[in-house]
């Protein structure tokens, strides 16, 4: 365990000196005489472990512990107390202390407590490594150079830490919502559990309940004689991903709400109550708020599945990612089909950058796969994609309007400012109706919301 860093926070010089002398051979030690100095050091660079006195001058040890845990919940803290005051010790343990030791200190006892704590840290690091390995192996590469998608992935890192907090992923078709759901699962504490996905739109409404919650024998005509587990039960201890959650029937919505609120459900045709823990991650490309107004989706269920919302930008909103993603797919399908493709031609790059990706990443993926199958390599060409070369000065996009556009002044313009101006104008013109404003600008509802939020 050499190489671990330990901060010792105690107002008694003799204790700091004794612990430093007894531990410095195996650990990197720093000492502090008060909580304020120790806390500043933790905020600057967190150690692996902290030994901290409860009865400190100024900020007391329990208060300091709470501040440390706010900064980083994963830091382990062993509390030192002058006497076994049960109430104080309980307060410290409730605040997140890993262990406590009682003065007068015995070095062997201190070393044993430290050894146990560092075993926990070591196990956490192994779990984190396994999570990262599982993520690499089980989740296709979510290529990103744009700030927008990197912001999304950083947010996912935070929300994934909750074991059972429901997450709602919003975005256009083909943006990679299932990839995001996979990332939430594989970065979460329950990553060792199953990740099960279901497309609610692909299951007939009269069968969706039995798929989700299972059924007992004889529940309906054609039911298996032994009954059947539902997907919620299959995903116990892991994550159930409900894609196109807006397509759930009203009855299934009611049962899902009960499960999210109480952690319980009944199989179709059964009277036995099942209590399990499964994280629900949902996704949709529909406007659930409008569906609520039309009485097509329960408002109370919306609030439960959308405890945390993740909005995935469309591919058109992050053009800097198009070529890196295409190159990733080129490598993936080159390996899959045993073909050597070393790059993308300049014409294809221009085509990809100019194209409006209505199907987002999925459409790009399919187009690259077609090109690899048809092409001979080593470079991906336009003819491999089945498209004609562009004429000089032309665009592969249909013209949105033949009307006049403002002329470009000699001093130039700021495109961001121009975009912001028209977004504000559209929002104002529609009286704050985001859907109508998005339609005026030729944007999806979620693309408009993303841009407006970015502008504050």
Residue-level pLDDT at 416: 67
Q: What is the pLDDT of residues 377-404, one digit of tens each?
A: 788 888 888 765 555 444 454 433 333 4
Residue-level pLDDT at 131: 58
pTM: 0.57
Question: CATH code at 121?
Answer: 3.40.50.2300
Q: Is residue 427 domain-resident?
A: yes
For 443-454, the DSSP string reads --HHHHHHHHHH
C-alpha to C-alpha distance for 272 and 266, rounded to whole angstroms: 6
- What is the domain count for the chain? 4
* Average pLDDT of the segment spanning 290-313: 90
Q: Is residue 408 domain-resident?
A: no
Q: Which of 27, 96, 25 is nearest to 8 (CA)?
A: 27
Residue 412 has pLDDT above 70, yes or no: no
Specify the residue for token string 């049960």: 86
Question: CATH code at 242?
Answer: 3.40.50.300
Q: Is residue 139 domain-resident?
A: no
* Average pLDDT of the segment spanning 354-381: 86
Residue-level pLDDT at 398: 42
Question: CATH code at 449?
Answer: 1.10.10
Confidence band of 223 (pLDDT split at 50, 70, 90): low
Confidence band of 145 (pLDDT split at 50, 70, 90): low
Residue-level pLDDT at 30: 92
Q: Which domain holds residue 355?
A: 316-385
Residue-level pLDDT at 384: 83
Last residue of a domain, one of 100, 128, 156: 128
Last residue of a domain, one of 385, 405, 429: 385
Q: Are residues 106 and 204 in the same domain?
A: no
C-alpha to C-alpha distance for 52 and 75, rounded to whole angstroms: 12
Average pLDDT across the chain, whole number: 81
Around Cβ 415, how many Cβ atoms within 10 Å?
A: 8
Question: CATH code at 341?
Answer: 1.10.8.60
Cβ neighbours of residue 171 closer than 8 Å, sequence gap 6 or more: 177, 283, 285, 311, 312, 313, 314, 446
* Average pLDDT of the segment spanning 430-446: 77
Q: What is the pLDDT of residues 1-36, one digit of tens each?
A: 557 899 999 999 999 999 999 988 888 999 999 999
Residue-level pLDDT at 141: 46
Last residue of a domain, one of 128, 155, 179: 128
Q: Are residues 64 and 168 in the same domain?
A: no
Q: What is the pLDDT of residues 95-144, one digit of tens each?
A: 888 888 888 888 888 899 898 888 888 877 776 666 556 554 545 445 66
Q: Are residues 66 and 159 in the same domain?
A: no
Q: Is residue 367 domain-resident?
A: yes
What does each C-alpha distance from 179 to 165, 169, 414 come to in angstroms? 18, 10, 34
**Does 328 or 397 have the greater pLDDT score?**
328
Q: Are residues 329 and 272 in the same domain?
A: no
Residue-level pLDDT at 403: 38
Q: What is the pLDDT of residues 49-88, one digit of tens each?
A: 999 998 888 898 899 999 998 888 888 999 988 766 677 7
Q: Are residues 441 and 421 in the same domain?
A: yes
Q: Are residues 361 and 429 in the same domain?
A: no
H or E element, residue 52: strand 49-53
∠ CA(146), CA(152), CA(157), 5° rounding? 125
Q: Is residue 81 domain-resident?
A: yes
Q: Are residues 307 and 346 in the same domain?
A: no
Q: Is residue 320 domain-resident?
A: yes
Q: Are residues 76 and 194 in the same domain?
A: no
Q: Are residues 150 and 109 in the same domain?
A: no
Q: Are residues 179 and 78 in the same domain?
A: no
Q: What is the pLDDT of residues 236-288, one digit of tens each?
A: 888 999 999 988 888 889 888 988 888 888 888 777 888 888 889 999 988 88
Confidence band of 407 (pLDDT split at 50, 70, 90): low
Q: Is residue 246 domain-resident?
A: yes
Q: Which of 59, 99, 92 is nearest to 76 (CA)?
A: 99
Confidence band of 405 (pLDDT split at 50, 70, 90): very low
Specify the residue for token string 């985001």: 434
Q: Which of 191, 133, 185, 137 is nearest to 159 (CA)?
A: 185
Residue-level pLDDT at 190: 78
Q: Are residues 296 and 179 in the same domain?
A: yes
For 134-152, the DSSP string reads HHHHHS------SHHHHHH
Residue 293 has pLDDT above 80, yes or no: yes
Q: Is residue 400 domain-resident?
A: no
Residue 212 has pLDDT above 50, yes or no: yes
> What b/e sequence results for 214-236 when a residue is b if at least 16 CB atoms lie within 10 Å of its CB, and e otherwise?
bbbeebeeebeeebbebbbbebb
Strands (E) in 62-176, as ranges, are: 76-81, 99-102, 167-170
Q: Are residues 293 and 244 in the same domain?
A: yes
Residue-level pLDDT at 281: 92
């Amino acid at each position: 365990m050499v190489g671990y860093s330990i901060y010792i926070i105690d107002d008694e010089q003799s204790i700091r000196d004794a612990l430093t002398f007894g531990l410095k051979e195996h650990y990197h030690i720093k000492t502090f005489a008060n909580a304020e100095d120790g806390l500043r050091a933790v905020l600057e660079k967190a150690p692996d472990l902290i030994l901290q006195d409860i009865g400190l001058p100024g900020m007391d040890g329990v208060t300091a512990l709470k501040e440390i845990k706010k900064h980083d919940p994963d830091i382990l803290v062993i509390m030192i107390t002058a006497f076994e005051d049960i109430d104080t010790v309980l307060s410290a343990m409730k605040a997140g202390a890993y262990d406590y030791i009682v003065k007068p200190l015995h070095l062997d006892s201190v070393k044993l407590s430290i050894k146990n704590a560092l075993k926990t840290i070591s196990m956490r690091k192994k779990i984190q490594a396994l999570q990262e390995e599982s993520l690499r192996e089980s989740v296709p590469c979510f290529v990103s150079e744009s700030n927008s998608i990197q912001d999304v992935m950083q947010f996912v890192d935070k929300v994934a830490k909750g074991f059972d907090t429901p997450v709602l992923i919003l975005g256009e078709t083909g943006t990679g919502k299932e990839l995001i759901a996979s990332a939430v699962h594989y970065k979460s504490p329950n990553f060792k559990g199953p990740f099960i996905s279901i497309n609610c739109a692909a299951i007939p409404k009269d069968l969706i309940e039995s798929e989700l919650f299972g059924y007992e024998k004889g529940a309906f005509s054609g039911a298996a004689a032994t009954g059947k587990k539902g997907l919620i039960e299959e995903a116990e201890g892991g994550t159930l991903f409900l894609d196109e959650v807006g397509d759930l029937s009203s009855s299934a919505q009611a049962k899902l709400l009960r499960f999210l609120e109480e952690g319980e459900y009944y199989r179709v045709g059964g009277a036995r109550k099942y209590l399990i823990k499964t994280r629900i991650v949902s996704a949709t490309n529909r406007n659930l708020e409008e569906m609520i107004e039309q009485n097509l989706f329960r408002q109370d269920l919306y609030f439960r599945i959308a405890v945390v919302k993740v909005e995935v930008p469309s591919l058109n909103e992050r053009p800097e990612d198009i070529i890196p993603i295409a190159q990733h797919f080129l490598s993936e399908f080159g390996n899959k089909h045993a073909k050597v493709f070393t790059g993308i031609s300049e014409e294809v790059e221009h085509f990809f950058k100019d194209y409006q990706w209505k199907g987002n990443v999925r459409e790009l993926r399919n187009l690259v796969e077609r090109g690899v199958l048809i092409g001979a390599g080593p470079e991906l060409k336009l003819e491999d994609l089945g498209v004609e070369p562009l004429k000089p000065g032309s665009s592969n996009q249909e013209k949105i309007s033949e009307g006049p556009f403002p002329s470009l002044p000699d001093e130039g313009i700021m495109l961001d400012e121009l975009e912001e101006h028209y977004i504000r104008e559209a929002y104002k013109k529609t009286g704050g109706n985001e859907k109508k404003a998005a339609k005026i600008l030729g944007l999806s509802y979620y693309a408009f919301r993303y841009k407006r939020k970015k502008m504050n």
